[in-house]
Structure 1
């Protein structure tokens, strides 16, 4: 089996220089680095991750905590993270957790805090102060993408302005002339105002209040699971009283919106004549459904989360300021055929 000494001899450098060139740690002239890499490729030498971690203290592995892997938004974010980590020479360890419980405690108390990951990216997971503190004590930088605010000094938060998104979506319906507007909010939105569903609900209320249209009861805000079945079931409930039917619905996600559209059609309503529907995400199927939506770019958000994690680790060549807790990530309103003015 080839050794680092064989690479150094073929490249005409010392073992220390060959090690620095292949590990990426320490300064090596670019021409020398290319010569060492060519020598390693010629004899089939592969850097041992375990040996490299002993020298650098790094595992080249990032832990990713995510609540769902079977929903479009999270799948897109995960794909962006994976591509960016692979391009940077890092591995990914995935932890699928949501809510509280013994399984979550094991993930944060042992697997992430004690085992060998260099940094943690939490996607749409509300991190408790003690979870952040445990990671910070062990010098694990944390990037929170969506979800609650990151509070530890070694952490950063990325995300869109979900409250502004909720307001923008509702204002679009108001500008079309709708006054009976319902909101399909995510579960727990009312009780957890700092979550993504909670912020979007606040944005809806902000826009309605500014228009002098304070919602008048549970019928106008229905909480549901952020999925197509959740949106379908909630819309059947919402539209079950013909005398109080809204003329427009703001769904907290595109998947909820798809479910709402299918439920309305099942009840014999014509879209958008009888009901306008707007969502949030920019789902890959939004154009096929003709769905008006506030579009975000989850795959790009995943890439940015990796870039921030690498900068916190000091393993990035970029010197721009961190795109963390400052300006929100971009969104845009995309108008399609699912929204129109209400019938007189």
Structure 2
């Protein structure tokens, strides 16, 4: 096997420098030339050293992904979308799972991704000023999903607008007593997404209460921790109220799944007795006939991956976030309320 680029260069009919650039994926090499170089390298059984490539380009071929919970459906789908785009570009992911406040503090204290990644992607985690400065101080592109940070590119959805659409659907069906299952208090890791959805719920439900001349019922707001078990627990609490709601808006499909299970166990019918509306369009939502707000989770990840590639290519920060559309998906779990 040859130990120099010269043999590949002679076979491909180009210079050794062109061979080096083509094999390392450096921009500026014509696609026809790159194809010829790759064919020559394959014929001669030559592969450029990854270490040498890293030294020559100053890049690691790796993107660091900071994820709050690696075992949640939403984050797994985001990562899959990112990975697909970056894998096609020959870039690997290095995951850092925080898990809780202790893990978060440990990560930012040690910053283990220093000099190990070409870019950083943060998933749905609002950064403190110190954390943001630490990441920007790595002098690599910073991209976020679900939050907007100065000095970073961002991708997301309009959480407030999407939740308003969900609530308006329930009101238009005729529901006046609508409960909300959201995040437990205090909100873990400083997440802002649950708060935006809660604000939208209050905006619409309080308007309905004013029209009816009654005060909002604080007991109609409960936390489900964005898990199936939490949603089931929260639904159980709502069913224990003196007057149960006619509809429930859950800020995630997984909590809605738990609510459906609680209703089924108590013998109540969906949507005849209680309508249930979720948020996400989880893979199981159609199977469980759940009406929901669909957000393009995998596409969010893919768009973030594209922004990373763009930043690595030209270094320019896009001035405005990419806001992807959501849509209301109506299935069998929502219907007009029955007369009590």
**What TM-score do you get using the length of structure 1 for normalisation?**
0.90
Mapped pair 1:269 → 2:268: yes
How far 1:191 sits from its partner (Å)?
A: 9.5
- 1:291-337 CA deviation, whole Å, 9 max, x = no partner? 00000111111111111111122269xx9x95x74452110000011
Q: Which has the higher contact order (CA 8 A, sep 6+)?
A: 2
1:189–1:198 contact (8 Å) kept in structure 2: no
Structure 1, gaps ≥5 residues long? none
User: Quick check: 192-201 or 282-291, which moved more?
Assistant: 192-201
1:331 maps onto 2:332 in alignment: no
- Greater shift in the superposed pair: 220-229 or 18-27: 18-27
CA shift, 1:72, in A, is 1.7
Partner Cα distance (2:187, 2:160) in 1: 13
The Cα offsets for residues 213-251 of structure 1, whole Å up to 9 and x where unpaired, read as 58634311001210111100111111112x320000000
Q: Does 1:178 align with 2:214?
A: no
Deviation for aligned residue 1:98: 3.5
Does residue 1:301 correspond to 2:333, yes or no?
no
RMSD: 2.3
Residue 132 of structure 1 is matched in structure 2 by 132
Match of 1:165 in 2: 162
The corresponding residue for 1:291 is 290
Separation in 1, partners of 2:113, 2:96: 13
1:138-195 alpha-carbon deviations (Å, 9 max, x no partner)? 212111111x4312x2x12211111112111111100000000000011247799971
In the TM superposition, residue 104 of structure 1 has moved relative to its aligned partner by 2.5
Whole-angstrom CA distance in 2 between matches of 1:20 and 1:290: 53
Aligned residues of 2:275 and 2:335 also touching (Cα < 8 A): yes
| Aligned mates of 1:163, 1:194 — CA distance in 2 | 14
Is it true that 1:63 corresponds to 2:64 in the alignment? yes
* Residues 5/215 of structure 1: CA separation in 2 closer, same or farther (3 Å cut): farther
* C-alpha distance after superposition, 1:234-274 (max 9, x if no partner): 11111112x32000000010010010011011111111010
Distance 1:314 1:204, change over 3 A: same
Change (3 A) 1:97 1:135: same
- State how far apart, in whole Å, the 1-side matches of 2:161 and 2:182 are: 15
Matched with 1:281 is 280
Q: Contact 1:193 / 1:199 at 8 angstroms: preserved in 2?
A: no
1:48 aligns with 2:49: yes
Query: What secondary structure, in the 3-state scheme, does the structure 2 residue paired with 1:261 have?
Result: helix
Change beyond 3 A, Cα 1:252–1:222: same
- Structure 1 counterpart of 2:246: 247
SS at match of 2:154: strand
Q: Residue 2 of structure 1 aligns with which residue?
A: 2
Question: Deviation of residue 6 (structure 1)?
Answer: 2.5
Task: Report the alpha carbon displacement of residue 112 of structure 1 after superposing the two structures with TM.
Answer: 4.9
Paired with 1:131 and 1:204, the residues of 2 have a C-alpha distance of 31
Secondary structure at 2:303's aligned position in 1?
helix
Contact 1:192 1:198 in 2 (8 A): no
**Matches of 1:182 and 1:204, distance apart in 2:** 9
State the aligned residue count.
335
Q: CA deviation at 1:22?
A: 1.3
- Which consecutive unaligned segments of at least 5 residues does structure 2 have? none
Q: From the superposition, tell whether residues 114 and 221 of structure 1 become closer, same or farther in structure 2 (CA, over 3 Å).
A: same
Alignment of 1:99-118 (within 5 A): 99-101=100-102, 103-112=103-112, 114-118=114-118
